[in-house]
Amino acid sequence: MFGLGTGEILVIIIVVLLIFGGKKIPELARGLGKGLREFKKAKDEITDSVNDAVDDDENNDSMKKTGQENDKDKKNSTKKGSSK
């Protein structure tokens, strides 16, 4: 885990306990959890927005292509009709 051995992890835990105390650590963990949850929610919202924009763009492109094909078909049918 990040190149840390068991001894280094224990030292870090002991230092954190000495600095913050046993009562403060659950509050810090709770705040960290809320922060991570909000970050994930914001990331998911941005991802959804980007995906929606891409889908809309793809739909617009396909509609434009379909519209262009319909225009070509109309022109071809009028040319065929006028040549008769």
Residue 29 near residue 37 (C-beta atoms within 8 A): no
Q: What are phi and psi of 4, to 5 degrees?
A: -100, 135
Interval 59-77 mean pLDDT: 66
Cα distance between residue 32 and residue 25, in whole Å: 10
Assess if residue 9 is contained within a domain: no
With cut-offs at 50, 70 and 90, classify the pLDDT of residue 44.
very high
Q: What is the mean pLDDT of residues 58-76?
A: 67
- Residue 81: inside a domain: no
Query: Helix, strand, or coil here: 39?
Result: helix
| Domain enclosing residue 27, as ranges | 18-62
Mean pLDDT, rounded, for 27-53:
94
Predicted pLDDT at 84: 47
pTM of the model as a whole: 0.50
pLDDT-based confidence at residue 58 (cuts at 50, 70, 90) = confident
Instruction: Quote the number of domains for the chain.
Output: 1
Distance CA 47, CA 74 (A): 40
